[in-house]
Amino acid sequence: MRCKLTMSLNSSTLLNEENSQEPKRNTERLGSLELQTPSSFQDNPLQQLQLASQEVLEKAKKSGRSKCPQCSSSRMFYCYTCFVPVETVPTKEIPTVKLPLKIDIIKHPNETDGKSTAVHAKLLAPDDVTIYKYPCIPEYKEKRHEIALIFPGPNSVSVKDIAFHLQKYAKKGIHTNDDDCSREPFLKQAKLEPKEEEKNLNECISTNGTEGTRLKKIIFIDSTWNQTNKIITDERLQGLLQIELKTRKTCFWRHQKGKPDTYLSTIEAIYYFLVDYHQEILKENYKGQYDNLLFFFSFMYTLIKNAKCCAAKE
Protein backbone atom coordinates (compact mmCIF):
# COMPACT_ATOMS: atom_id res chain seq x y z
CA MET A 1 0.00 0.00 0.00
CA ARG A 2 1.32 3.42 -0.91
CA CYS A 3 2.26 5.42 2.14
CA LYS A 4 0.70 8.87 2.19
CA LEU A 5 3.22 11.55 3.06
CA THR A 6 1.57 13.93 5.52
CA MET A 7 4.61 15.97 6.46
CA SER A 8 4.97 19.61 5.53
CA LEU A 9 7.44 20.96 3.01
CA ASN A 10 9.72 21.83 5.91
CA SER A 11 9.82 18.20 7.02
CA SER A 12 10.87 17.11 3.53
CA THR A 13 13.58 19.74 3.55
CA LEU A 14 14.76 18.47 6.91
CA LEU A 15 14.98 14.95 5.50
CA ASN A 16 17.01 16.08 2.50
CA GLU A 17 19.47 17.81 4.80
CA GLU A 18 20.12 14.54 6.61
CA ASN A 19 21.42 12.78 3.48
CA SER A 20 24.82 14.54 3.61
CA GLN A 21 26.18 15.00 7.09
CA GLU A 22 29.36 16.04 8.85
CA PRO A 23 31.43 13.59 11.02
CA LYS A 24 29.85 12.37 14.22
CA ARG A 25 30.30 14.31 17.43
CA ASN A 26 32.58 13.24 20.22
CA THR A 27 29.66 12.77 22.58
CA GLU A 28 28.33 10.21 20.12
CA ARG A 29 31.16 7.82 20.98
CA LEU A 30 30.74 6.99 24.64
CA GLY A 31 30.21 3.53 26.07
CA SER A 32 31.22 0.07 27.32
CA LEU A 33 28.13 -2.17 27.85
CA GLU A 34 25.07 -3.21 25.81
CA LEU A 35 21.72 -1.45 25.69
CA GLN A 36 18.94 -3.68 26.92
CA THR A 37 16.08 -2.98 24.53
CA PRO A 38 13.18 -5.43 24.09
CA SER A 39 13.02 -6.77 20.54
CA SER A 40 9.43 -5.60 20.24
CA PHE A 41 10.65 -2.01 20.46
CA GLN A 42 13.50 -2.26 17.94
CA ASP A 43 11.63 -0.22 15.32
CA ASN A 44 11.10 2.67 17.72
CA PRO A 45 12.94 2.27 21.06
CA LEU A 46 11.84 5.78 22.05
CA GLN A 47 8.17 4.85 22.31
CA GLN A 48 8.68 3.67 25.89
CA LEU A 49 9.48 7.19 27.05
CA GLN A 50 7.09 9.02 29.35
CA LEU A 51 6.82 12.25 27.41
CA ALA A 52 4.68 15.36 27.67
CA SER A 53 2.15 15.88 24.87
CA GLN A 54 3.85 16.70 21.57
CA GLU A 55 0.71 18.22 20.10
CA VAL A 56 2.38 21.63 20.10
CA LEU A 57 5.12 20.26 17.85
CA GLU A 58 2.56 18.66 15.54
CA LYS A 59 0.87 22.03 15.10
CA ALA A 60 4.19 23.78 14.53
CA LYS A 61 5.12 21.19 11.91
CA LYS A 62 1.96 21.94 9.95
CA SER A 63 2.51 25.68 10.26
CA GLY A 64 6.05 25.49 8.96
CA ARG A 65 9.00 27.64 9.91
CA SER A 66 8.42 30.51 12.29
CA LYS A 67 10.27 33.49 13.70
CA CYS A 68 12.52 33.41 16.72
CA PRO A 69 11.06 35.88 19.26
CA GLN A 70 14.55 37.21 20.02
CA CYS A 71 16.53 37.38 16.76
CA SER A 72 13.61 37.06 14.27
CA SER A 73 15.43 34.31 12.33
CA SER A 74 13.26 31.75 10.55
CA ARG A 75 13.47 28.45 12.39
CA MET A 76 11.64 25.14 12.83
CA PHE A 77 10.46 24.40 16.41
CA TYR A 78 13.22 26.37 18.18
CA CYS A 79 16.06 28.81 17.60
CA TYR A 80 19.39 27.02 17.98
CA THR A 81 21.16 30.37 18.33
CA CYS A 82 19.07 31.99 21.06
CA PHE A 83 18.02 28.71 22.76
CA VAL A 84 14.32 29.57 22.77
CA PRO A 85 11.21 28.07 21.08
CA VAL A 86 9.88 29.86 17.99
CA GLU A 87 6.66 31.89 18.05
CA THR A 88 4.46 28.92 17.07
CA VAL A 89 5.78 26.87 20.00
CA PRO A 90 4.66 28.61 23.23
CA THR A 91 7.15 28.18 26.05
CA LYS A 92 4.39 27.18 28.45
CA GLU A 93 3.66 24.13 26.30
CA ILE A 94 7.26 22.92 26.44
CA PRO A 95 8.09 20.62 29.39
CA THR A 96 10.73 21.69 31.89
CA VAL A 97 13.03 19.09 33.42
CA LYS A 98 14.69 19.56 36.81
CA LEU A 99 18.11 17.91 36.95
CA PRO A 100 19.92 16.57 40.05
CA LEU A 101 23.11 18.46 39.10
CA LYS A 102 24.36 21.17 36.77
CA ILE A 103 25.50 20.43 33.21
CA ASP A 104 28.06 22.37 31.20
CA ILE A 105 28.25 21.68 27.46
CA ILE A 106 31.44 22.78 25.72
CA LYS A 107 30.75 23.27 22.04
CA HIS A 108 33.48 23.47 19.41
CA PRO A 109 33.24 26.78 17.47
CA ASN A 110 33.18 24.92 14.15
CA GLU A 111 30.18 22.81 15.08
CA THR A 112 27.09 23.64 13.04
CA ASP A 113 24.52 25.04 15.47
CA GLY A 114 21.54 23.69 13.57
CA LYS A 115 22.86 20.13 13.60
CA SER A 116 23.66 19.89 17.30
CA THR A 117 21.25 18.31 19.79
CA ALA A 118 22.96 20.12 22.68
CA VAL A 119 20.39 22.91 22.36
CA HIS A 120 17.65 20.43 23.37
CA ALA A 121 19.14 20.20 26.85
CA LYS A 122 19.22 23.98 27.23
CA LEU A 123 15.63 24.33 26.01
CA LEU A 124 14.24 21.65 28.32
CA ALA A 125 16.39 22.18 31.42
CA PRO A 126 17.20 25.90 31.18
CA ASP A 127 18.00 26.33 34.88
CA ASP A 128 20.53 23.52 34.98
CA VAL A 129 22.26 23.57 31.58
CA THR A 130 24.83 26.05 30.27
CA ILE A 131 26.35 25.94 26.77
CA TYR A 132 29.82 27.41 26.24
CA LYS A 133 31.48 27.97 22.87
CA TYR A 134 35.13 26.98 23.07
CA PRO A 135 37.58 28.52 23.98
CA CYS A 136 35.35 30.62 26.25
CA ILE A 137 34.92 28.13 29.11
CA PRO A 138 35.11 28.43 32.92
CA GLU A 139 38.05 27.60 35.16
CA TYR A 140 37.29 24.28 36.85
CA LYS A 141 40.47 23.73 38.86
CA GLU A 142 39.19 24.87 42.25
CA LYS A 143 36.05 22.73 41.95
CA ARG A 144 37.59 19.51 40.68
CA HIS A 145 36.38 17.63 43.75
CA GLU A 146 32.77 18.09 42.66
CA ILE A 147 32.99 18.03 38.83
CA ALA A 148 33.35 15.22 36.30
CA LEU A 149 33.84 15.10 32.53
CA ILE A 150 32.09 12.67 30.19
CA PHE A 151 34.86 11.36 27.99
CA PRO A 152 35.96 7.81 27.13
CA GLY A 153 39.51 6.66 27.65
CA PRO A 154 41.86 4.35 29.57
CA ASN A 155 41.51 6.39 32.76
CA SER A 156 37.73 6.78 32.63
CA VAL A 157 35.55 5.27 35.34
CA SER A 158 31.94 4.11 35.36
CA VAL A 159 29.06 6.16 36.73
CA LYS A 160 28.67 3.90 39.76
CA ASP A 161 32.26 4.65 40.83
CA ILE A 162 31.99 8.45 40.72
CA ALA A 163 31.62 8.96 44.48
CA PHE A 164 34.46 6.56 45.17
CA HIS A 165 36.93 8.51 43.03
CA LEU A 166 35.79 11.98 44.12
CA GLN A 167 36.72 10.98 47.66
CA LYS A 168 40.38 11.43 46.68
CA TYR A 169 39.97 15.17 46.52
CA ALA A 170 38.01 15.32 49.76
CA LYS A 171 40.68 13.26 51.57
CA LYS A 172 43.55 15.50 50.43
CA GLY A 173 41.60 18.67 50.98
CA ILE A 174 43.92 20.74 48.79
CA HIS A 175 43.49 20.54 45.01
CA THR A 176 47.04 20.51 43.71
CA ASN A 177 48.24 19.60 40.24
CA ASP A 178 49.09 16.05 41.28
CA ASP A 179 45.56 15.50 42.55
CA ASP A 180 44.61 14.03 39.19
CA CYS A 181 42.25 11.19 40.07
CA SER A 182 42.13 10.21 36.41
CA ARG A 183 45.78 9.12 36.59
CA GLU A 184 45.62 6.50 39.32
CA PRO A 185 43.00 4.70 41.41
CA PHE A 186 42.28 6.22 44.81
CA LEU A 187 43.27 3.03 46.66
CA LYS A 188 46.18 2.05 44.40
CA GLN A 189 48.87 2.34 47.06
CA ALA A 190 46.77 0.72 49.76
CA LYS A 191 46.64 -2.59 47.85
CA LEU A 192 43.45 -3.63 49.58
CA GLU A 193 41.81 -7.00 49.20
CA PRO A 194 38.79 -7.00 46.84
CA LYS A 195 36.24 -7.29 49.68
CA GLU A 196 37.88 -4.53 51.70
CA GLU A 197 38.08 -2.26 48.66
CA GLU A 198 34.41 -2.89 47.89
CA LYS A 199 33.54 -2.05 51.49
CA ASN A 200 35.40 1.25 51.26
CA LEU A 201 33.69 1.99 47.95
CA ASN A 202 30.28 1.49 49.50
CA GLU A 203 31.22 3.73 52.41
CA CYS A 204 32.28 6.44 49.97
CA ILE A 205 29.01 6.19 48.10
CA SER A 206 27.01 6.27 51.32
CA THR A 207 28.67 9.58 52.24
CA ASN A 208 28.18 10.98 48.76
CA GLY A 209 25.48 13.33 50.01
CA THR A 210 27.92 15.34 52.13
CA GLU A 211 28.41 18.87 50.85
CA GLY A 212 32.15 18.56 50.26
CA THR A 213 32.28 15.36 48.23
CA ARG A 214 29.19 14.96 46.10
CA LEU A 215 29.13 15.49 42.34
CA LYS A 216 27.61 18.88 41.52
CA LYS A 217 28.43 19.37 37.86
CA ILE A 218 29.02 17.20 34.79
CA ILE A 219 30.69 18.37 31.58
CA PHE A 220 29.91 17.20 28.04
CA ILE A 221 31.91 18.03 24.90
CA ASP A 222 29.92 18.73 21.76
CA SER A 223 32.25 18.41 18.77
CA THR A 224 33.32 16.11 15.97
CA TRP A 225 35.80 13.40 16.92
CA ASN A 226 38.58 15.13 14.96
CA GLN A 227 37.96 18.38 16.83
CA THR A 228 37.96 16.79 20.27
CA ASN A 229 41.69 16.81 20.91
CA LYS A 230 41.97 20.58 21.08
CA ILE A 231 39.28 20.75 23.76
CA ILE A 232 40.16 17.70 25.85
CA THR A 233 43.82 18.80 26.11
CA ASP A 234 42.90 22.28 27.30
CA GLU A 235 44.65 22.93 30.61
CA ARG A 236 41.37 24.01 32.20
CA LEU A 237 40.02 20.46 31.85
CA GLN A 238 43.10 18.67 33.13
CA GLY A 239 42.76 16.69 36.35
CA LEU A 240 38.98 16.28 36.09
CA LEU A 241 37.51 12.87 36.79
CA GLN A 242 36.54 11.31 33.45
CA ILE A 243 33.39 9.21 33.11
CA GLU A 244 32.63 6.68 30.41
CA LEU A 245 29.00 5.76 29.75
CA LYS A 246 27.58 2.33 29.20
CA THR A 247 27.17 1.47 25.54
CA ARG A 248 23.70 2.14 24.14
CA LYS A 249 22.46 2.05 20.57
CA THR A 250 21.79 5.48 19.18
CA CYS A 251 18.56 6.59 17.54
CA PHE A 252 20.33 9.57 16.00
CA TRP A 253 19.41 10.04 12.34
CA ARG A 254 22.81 11.54 11.44
CA HIS A 255 24.56 8.20 11.72
CA GLN A 256 27.96 8.16 10.03
CA LYS A 257 28.43 5.31 7.57
CA GLY A 258 30.92 2.71 8.68
CA LYS A 259 30.73 3.71 12.34
CA PRO A 260 29.16 1.72 15.21
CA ASP A 261 25.55 2.45 16.11
CA THR A 262 26.73 3.05 19.69
CA TYR A 263 27.79 6.62 18.90
CA LEU A 264 25.31 8.72 20.85
CA SER A 265 24.14 12.23 20.08
CA THR A 266 24.82 14.83 22.77
CA ILE A 267 21.28 14.81 24.15
CA GLU A 268 21.23 11.00 24.24
CA ALA A 269 24.51 10.96 26.17
CA ILE A 270 23.11 13.47 28.68
CA TYR A 271 19.89 11.51 29.08
CA TYR A 272 21.54 8.13 29.58
CA PHE A 273 24.07 9.56 32.03
CA LEU A 274 21.26 10.99 34.16
CA VAL A 275 19.34 7.70 34.12
CA ASP A 276 22.46 5.83 35.29
CA TYR A 277 23.24 8.52 37.87
CA HIS A 278 19.72 8.34 39.24
CA GLN A 279 19.97 4.59 39.73
CA GLU A 280 23.64 4.11 40.60
CA ILE A 281 24.36 7.18 42.73
CA LEU A 282 21.02 8.46 44.01
CA LYS A 283 19.95 4.83 44.50
CA GLU A 284 16.39 5.56 43.40
CA ASN A 285 14.09 3.75 41.00
CA TYR A 286 13.92 5.46 37.65
CA LYS A 287 10.36 6.45 36.75
CA GLY A 288 10.89 8.61 33.69
CA GLN A 289 12.04 11.72 35.55
CA TYR A 290 14.36 12.79 32.70
CA ASP A 291 12.47 11.36 29.72
CA ASN A 292 11.33 14.79 28.57
CA LEU A 293 14.94 15.66 27.77
CA LEU A 294 14.20 13.68 24.60
CA PHE A 295 11.02 15.67 23.90
CA PHE A 296 12.34 17.28 20.70
CA PHE A 297 14.68 14.43 19.83
CA SER A 298 11.99 11.74 19.86
CA PHE A 299 9.62 13.87 17.78
CA MET A 300 12.26 14.60 15.15
CA TYR A 301 13.31 10.94 15.15
CA THR A 302 9.75 9.83 14.35
CA LEU A 303 9.29 12.63 11.80
CA ILE A 304 12.42 11.72 9.86
CA LYS A 305 11.86 7.98 10.13
CA ASN A 306 8.33 8.29 8.73
CA ALA A 307 9.51 10.57 5.94
CA LYS A 308 12.22 8.09 4.94
CA CYS A 309 9.71 5.25 5.08
CA CYS A 310 7.27 7.05 2.82
CA ALA A 311 9.98 8.17 0.43
CA ALA A 312 11.17 4.58 0.06
CA LYS A 313 7.66 3.31 -0.78
CA GLU A 314 6.86 5.95 -3.35
pTM, to two decimals: 0.76
Burial class (CB within 10 angstroms; exposed 0-12, middle 13-18, buried 19+) of 118: buried
- Cα gap 92→85, rounded to integer Å: 10
CB 200, CB 168: distance < 8 Å: no
* pLDDT in single tens digits along all 314 residues of the chain: 434 333 333 445 454 444 444 444 444 444 333 333 333 344 566 888 999 999 999 999 999 999 999 999 999 999 999 999 999 999 999 999 999 999 999 999 988 888 899 999 999 999 999 999 999 999 998 888 899 999 988 889 999 999 888 887 666 554 444 444 444 333 333 344 444 544 554 454 444 444 445 899 999 999 877 788 899 999 999 999 999 998 888 877 666 556 566 778 899 999 999 999 999 999 999 999 999 999 999 999 888 887 777 776 66
CB 175, CB 141: distance < 8 Å: yes
User: E strands, 123-193, where?
Assistant: 129-133, 147-150
User: E strands, the chain, where?
Assistant: 66-67, 74-75, 78-79, 84-85, 102-107, 129-133, 147-150, 217-222, 241-243
Direct distance between the N- and C-terminal alpha carbons of the chain, in angstroms, rounded to an integer = 10
Assess whether the previous peptide bond of 185 is cis (omega < 30° from 0).
no
- Cα gap 77→279, rounded to integer Å: 32
